[in-house]
Structure 1
Amino acid sequence: MIRKIFHQALHISAARGYVPYQDLESKQMLTGLLDEPNRFTDHIRRYTNSLTTQIVFGFRIAGIHDEKLKKLYYCIERWSEVMASSAAALLEAYPVLRSLGPLSPGKRYAEKLQKETDALYLGHWMDAKKRVVEGTSNPCFCISIAENQKALGFSDVLAGYISGSALEAGSDTTANTLHGFVQAMLLYPSVQEQAREELDRVCGTERLPRLGLLALHTGMRQGNPAVAANGNRRDAHAVIKDDEYMGYTIPKGAGVMINVWAIHTDEERWEDPRAFDPSRYAGDDQTSFESASNADPSKRDHYGFGAGRRLCQGTHVAERSLFLGIARLLWAFRFERAVDGRGAEVVPDADDVTDGVLVQPRPFPARITARGEAHARIVRKEWEAAQELLEGDDQWKEIPRGMAFESLMSSNGKD
């Protein structure tokens, strides 16, 4: 049931419908970087989170100081710390220890954090459910959840975690990858210039990139060690029966993880795999979904979205968000290394990444400036035009047509 709901929101046709959201949110992100370049992480997070709240709940996040935005990333970061702790690893390896009760400060802290996360997710869901029942909801994921809840009778807590998991997955993963992209631009300035030359050749300097340059985006995302780490999800799967692989016996119930980092840096498959060389993907015009669906695993360009039947269902949406984010950031800005108090460049360490369910570069400084007055002027003009589509509360005056779940809206109003 849950996978069916996710499919309704994230299949290829639904993903195309979200392009107006991605277009508007990316323009606000660019303007935010013009005004506050030192807060690039916050503006990237708002971009991905606002897109996701529109898809899941039907409202947008208007600024980087929004309390809902800050609370989400607080919970994500704290949970990453908890799950990367030695105590969590011990409980994972020896589940019998979980029956000992809240004997450690770490477990008490996790229980407190769980209550905060429950309140966040359930609060989002109950607000969305109220709008659905009243017939005031915009087209969104929660309309389908409400319909299924009415038919199947599952709890509001489960509904809150279905919608909350979608919120978390859509907000954090894409933001982490864009964060890694910024770091890659500092580490590989020559690649930055090559990519920008290609953007200028195709787009010129008088318009923002649109969704027709997917091949450029694909190469940018996959050749970068800082970004490659972001695909190294620690999500464990379990085999449902005894299995064997390359002479190894895998007993029923054993946990199995895809070692994405090892696959992406396999020297037998890639020449100098740690080098950021987007040209290695020249001629590969597959989308991430097409690549993941390829029956020949040697022709898969990356495993950042997982593999098999549990492939990330948000692939179509994420790929478009990454393309617009990367292409427009490259078109509008120069990314240079920050300078410390002694005048020396601050060079980020690509291997200095966070631990946990997802890995991303640890915070680093960057000097981000507009490429020129003309680029800055176009960014501001584009955002000013986009703002005409918004009400005074920075929500859409009228939701663009073609959104998923439109057909369900009339059947989920007041009974």
Structure 2
Amino acid sequence: MKTITAVSLLAGVTLLVVRFLMVGRRPKNYPPGPPTLPVIGNLHQMPSKDAHLQFEKWAREYGPVYSLILGTKTMVVLSSDKAVKDLLDKKSSLYSHRPEMYIGQNLCSGNLRVLMMPYGPRWRNSRKLVHGLLNVSAAKSYVPYQMLENKQMLHDMLVQPDRFLHHIRRYSNALTTTMVFGWRTPTYEDEKMQQLFDGFSEFAELNQTGMAALIDFFPFLRRIPESLSKTQKYAKELHKKEKALYMQHWLRAKKETQEGTIKPCFCEEMFKVQKKEDISDDQAAYITGTLLEAGSDTTSSTLYAFVQAMLLYPKVQEKAQEEIERVVGSDRMPTMEDEPNLQYIRSCVKESLRWMPTTILGAVPHAVTQDDWYEGYLIPKNAGVVNNVWSINMDPRRHPNPRVFEPERYMNDFQSLADAAANPDGTKRDQFTFGAGRRICPGIHVAERSLFLGVARILWAFNIEPASDENGKPIIPDPDKLTQGFVCMPEEFPAKITPRSQARAEKVAQDWREAQEECLDPATQQWIVTPVSSRGGAKA
């Protein structure tokens, strides 16, 4: 009996060892990928910086669909327009889930962040609410908001040109706070706006690589006491600060709605839905807060990249300004009515999104809800699925000389950004920065208008040239130096921004002065009467 027990114990231990050593290995029927090591798989090869470059290199080596084995988890990387169309779009019912993200969703977000929320009724309800705010009909009605914030951005660039990044960020943030909460951000020094940008940068960087990834890929590490795990402690601290910010915004909007003093905005509708569907204040705060987060960061980062492109490609700037002169002239600024006739400006917007994608690896991975086969390979249930935006946007077969900023690529592309994303032919899609499938960014319609107005009006009013160092030598930024995290932008750089003429400078100042007198309270710089209803329809 003792012999049988010993043999059974030995067999059990052997089986456990074998199973343990099988962790990290790539099954033969999975998509190909870099060689693995037992237990850790490819974790040792995951870069701590500029992950998009390594993901692009692997795409060249292993093809448009490859796999990474990350401890106990599998990640499948899609690096072609065809694969994204076939899986994330055409099979969106299977590929709209999210992988478990313990640090990002549990600790950093209290399971409340819509961006990382699993696919299901709760996510669909949140998405439905957001769609009401950001659909194409609603987006058209927000143009008055965009025009006013654009006028302030140009004025701020006129009087403080060295702070152009701050002015771009305030522009996108103020538009978003107006749409979501009914109030605008009149200055970059606004403490809550600073907290938003800084907090999201910390969140994005924490969740890309390092210890956060290890804890996600090896669940047993979650049992480490918080006193010994700086990552878990830091994640909880981030959530505490972020939740306080979002809750403060939501409770203020809720109180103003109850008092009848709120300006038309998303929170009016959120308040009605909260009472009807028993949504908690925590949930409401994160739905509205993550809308603010998404709308503030990506638009500003793309406009910042556009400014960098103008420094590096002055001929593009000249050509764009020539088109504006021909279509608009010097007496007035471009408006949305000019968009159909400013195809080169539209092309500059599309090329900015392609050349410097802010969601460089698709922001957050999708996940597949059941085993699926694609081109002979098994994509296993619960695998993370990455939309490798950088590699697709930089694919030389789609875009020859991809690191060259060349708006001419889009001169015959008259699709809107949303139409291009929905095109059944994946090769006809302009760029992949806004994601794919049911998880595509719902703000795509608003973003397109904000970017068009930003690009067209900056180029109407100003010349963008390199700044000079102390020796008078031009400072040329490196376009490949990017901030880190799953949402990124160019590293900060200086630029010389000057009015194209005295008459244009006076026009910029006059337009902002008139907008303030007509629309804003002189004491608070908030809207006196907004031209938009709570569901996005323009008022008569």
- Distance, in Å, in 2 between the alignment partners of 1:406 and 1:150 is 23
Aligned AA (2:404): A
| One of 372, 390, 393 as aligned partner of 1:264 | 393
**Residue 151 of structure 1: aligned partner:** 276
Q: Is the 8 A contact 1:143 1:405 kept in 2?
A: no
**Residue 16 of structure 1: aligned partner:** 140
- Distance, in Å, in 2 between the alignment partners of 1:189 and 1:98 is 52
| One of 294, 298, 306 as aligned partner of 2:423 | 294
- Distance, in Å, in 2 between the alignment partners of 1:209 and 1:95 is 54
- Distance, in Å, in 2 between the alignment partners of 1:405 and 1:286 is 23
User: Per the alignment, do residues 279 and 406 of structure 1 end up closer, same or farther by CA in structure 2, a change over 3 Å counting?
Assistant: closer
User: Per the alignment, do residues 387 and 35 of structure 1 end up closer, same or farther by CA in structure 2, a change over 3 Å counting?
Assistant: same
| One of 167, 176, 198 as aligned partner of 1:43 | 167
Q: Is the 8 A contact 2:263 2:529 kept in 1?
A: no
Tell me the CA shift for residue 404 of structure 1.
2.1
Q: Is the 8 A contact 1:17 1:404 kept in 2?
A: no
After TM superposition, list the pairs within 5 Å mapping 1:10-409 onto structure 2. Answer: 10-102=134-226, 103-211=228-336, 212-213=338-339, 215-224=343-352, 227-232=355-360, 233-388=362-517, 389-392=519-522, 393-402=524-533, 404=535
Of the structure 1 ranges 223-232 and 154-163, higher mean CA displacement relative to structure 2 is found in 223-232
User: Per the alignment, do residues 143 and 227 of structure 1 end up closer, same or farther by CA in structure 2, a change over 3 Å counting?
Assistant: farther
The answer for unaligned runs of 5 or more in structure 1 is: 408-415
The answer for unaligned runs of 5 or more in structure 2 is: 1-124
Of the structure 1 ranges 34-43 and 132-141, higher mean CA displacement relative to structure 2 is found in 132-141
- Distance, in Å, in 2 between the alignment partners of 1:171 and 1:330 is 22
Alignment RMSD, CA only?
A: 1.7
Q: Is the 8 A contact 2:166 2:188 kept in 1?
A: yes
User: Per the alignment, do residues 163 and 225 of structure 1 end up closer, same or farther by CA in structure 2, a change over 3 Å counting?
Assistant: closer
Q: Is the 8 A contact 2:144 2:531 kept in 1?
A: yes
Q: Is the 8 A contact 1:184 1:226 kept in 2?
A: no
**Residue 111 of structure 2: aligned partner:** none
**Residue 411 of structure 1: aligned partner:** none
SS of 2:387's equivalent?
Answer: coil
Of the structure 1 ranges 266-275 and 46-55, higher mean CA displacement relative to structure 2 is found in 266-275
User: Per the alignment, do residues 203 and 406 of structure 1 end up closer, same or farther by CA in structure 2, a change over 3 Å counting?
Assistant: closer
Tell me the CA shift for residue 371 of structure 1.
1.0
Of the structure 1 ranges 23-32 and 383-392, higher mean CA displacement relative to structure 2 is found in 383-392
Of the structure 1 ranges 257-266 and 270-279, higher mean CA displacement relative to structure 2 is found in 270-279
Aligned AA (1:49): N
Of the structure 1 ranges 142-151 and 105-114, higher mean CA displacement relative to structure 2 is found in 105-114
Q: Is the 8 A contact 2:268 2:534 kept in 1?
A: no
- Distance, in Å, in 2 between the alignment partners of 1:66 and 1:367 is 25
User: Per the alignment, do residues 113 and 252 of structure 1 end up closer, same or farther by CA in structure 2, a change over 3 Å counting?
Assistant: same
Tell me the CA shift for residue 12 of structure 1.
1.1
Q: Is the 8 A contact 1:339 1:346 kept in 2?
A: yes
- Distance, in Å, in 1 between the alignment partners of 2:205 and 2:428 is 35
Tell me the CA shift for residue 225 of structure 1.
8.1
Aligned AA (2:166): D
Structure 1 residues 160-212: Cα deviation after superposition (integer angstroms, max 9, x where no partner): 00000000000001011011111111111111111111111111111111112
Q: Is the 8 A contact 1:58 1:137 kept in 2?
A: yes
> 1 or 2 for the larger relative contact order (CA 8 Å, sep ≥6)?
1
Tell me the CA shift for residue 343 of structure 1.
2.0
